[in-house]
Amino acid sequence: MRTKRRVLRWVIGGLVALVVLAVGGSVIWSQVGVMDAEDGPLAEARANPSITIDDAPEGIVLSPADGVSEAGLVFIPGAKVDPWAYVPVLQDVAASGVTVVITRPWLNLAFFDVRGLDAFTSTVPEIDSWGVGGHSLGGVRACMLASEADALVLFASYCAGEVPDDLAVLSLAGSEDGLSTPEKISEARDLLPTGAVMIEIAGASHASFGAYGPQSGDGEPTITDAEMRAAVTAPIVELLIAG
């Protein structure tokens, strides 16, 4: 009997140790290799007189400088990408009248962040209409929150499950994306509503959707930062305001 108890204790102890190692390893991995925002593009965005930037507890909030916002967008970063890297790309969206809340995913990974949409929309309670979006893995998480929003915006991403068929959806892909390739996005098209707007941005890579530099496994972009901002801004504003 004592031998059995001793073996049982060893088994339980071994399982606990494995769990601790797995959790600890995941935490360490999530903090290593985080892709920082590029200084130049971020500095230019901070100097943009058409927007205000607030480093709020709920996230990084980009608002129109005149204070007039017609809609909101909660945006979830890609895996291990600095949230500030999306400020340069989304600055013109905010300048056009959309308040953008860029989240800070727990452990730099969207899947670890179980907060609902209201955890981020609460920072601007006067806005009634909210879209949710994200880049890459952040877009997958955005799909999971889509039922809480009025619209869904995907940057180089695709859903793992179906979203409400009456939801307004915009999916932006890059022709040179080596990670979320146009082919992969096309294969998951049937999980989106029939009316989803699908746009492939010529010359854009996976990393073109954020200002954090080249990414391993990605394609080579041929689009400029200014062209990318324009290509992203127009359809988002059309979806959230004009639409």
pLDDT score, position 13? 42
Distance between CA atoms of residues 96 and 60, nearest Å: 17
Q: Which amino acid is residue 220, in one-letter code?
A: E
**Residue recorded with tokens 């949230």:** 83
User: Which residue numbers in the chain have pLDDT < 50?
Assistant: 7-8, 11, 13-32
The helix/strand/coil state of 64 is strand
CB 198 within 8 A of CB 189: yes
Give me the pLDDT at residue 111, please. Answer: 86
Q: Strands (DSSP E) along 175-231, which ranges? A: 197-201
Q: Quick count: other Cβ atoms within 10 Å of Cβ 76?
A: 30
pTM: 0.88
Angle between the 87-95 and 225-237 helix axes, to the nearest 10 degrees? 50
Please tell me the predicted confidence (pLDDT) of residue 108: 78
In angstroms, the Cα distances linking 127 to 17, 131, 168, 183 are 47, 11, 18, 36
Q: What pLDDT is attached to residue 27?
A: 41
Is the distance from CB of 150 to CB of 166 less than 8 angstroms?
Answer: no
Give the whole-angstrom CA distance, residue 134 versus residue 143.
9
- Angle at which helix 39-46 crosses helix 87-95, to 10 degrees, equals 20
Nearest-angstrom CA–CA distance, 118 and 125: 9
